[in-house]
Structure 1
């Protein structure tokens, strides 16, 4: 009985938190920018000198889609992640310090690429 109650409570918390909270928790930061494109969005999160990117599909129909997320601090190699996902894909946080970053994301055939931002 206690296990069932715990599972129902956890499920309720996930519903209340919503997808925006889950994205921020994956990077442990606050959202500072959103780039939109035809098939999705790239949310950029920053905490201290660390930055990460989360690509989210506009259509959440449960089918697998090819997705891509990338964040690059100026002077460093990009941190990229790609694969077939249903809803979202995120990068690990990269240390940017006070340097500019470039962010890219794609879902299916749509994509976006930023200039150097957050300088």
Structure 2
């Protein structure tokens, strides 16, 4: 057997293991970032308030919103709501540990009203994205 081939084989295995380890370490961070919102589209507004943040996304006429607490982990009362102009609001509320939502409405070119609440803190924005 060629001694050059014998030396190259462990180096190739080591390189493959290194790449695999990096992928395993990077995957949880990407999953946590995607898990924080789960809304599709691009972020168009961020509304921080005392106890959390309301994120608003838009894609092809749809508007999606998520409320995320400032201190996730403990179950707390949360709410998120999106209402297209002249339509009923779509809500998600309950006791959550990581987020309320996502809630999505088809707004087309209409304005939307978004609300978010975590515990005693809340935010309510008038007609936006007009």
TM-score interval, smaller chain: 0.7 to 0.9
- What is the CA-CA distance between 1:92 and the residue it aligns to? 2.8
How far apart, in 1, do the equivalents of 2:36 and 2:29 lie? Answer: 14
Question: How does 1:1-119 map onto structure 2 within 5 Å?
Answer: 9=24, 12-19=26-33, 21-24=34-37, 26-60=38-72, 62-119=73-130
Query: Does the 8 A contact of 1:45 with 1:53 survive in 2?
Result: yes
Query: Does the 8 A contact of 1:79 with 1:91 survive in 2?
Result: no
How far apart, in 1, do the equivalents of 2:54 and 2:126 lie? Answer: 13
What is the CA RMSD across the aligned residues, in angstroms? 1.8
Bigger Rg, structure 1 or 2? 2
How far apart, in 2, do the equivalents of 1:92 and 1:38 lie? Answer: 21
Query: Does the 8 A contact of 1:70 with 1:91 survive in 2?
Result: no
Question: After TM superposition, which residue ranges in structure 1, 4 or more long, deviate above 6 angstroms?
Answer: none
Question: Higher RCO, 1 or 2 (CA under 8 Å, sep at least 6)?
Answer: 1
More helix by share: 2
Number of residue pairs aligned between Structure 1 and Structure 2: 109
Query: Does the 8 A contact of 2:79 with 2:94 survive in 1?
Result: yes
How far apart, in 2, do the equivalents of 1:74 and 1:16 lie? Answer: 35
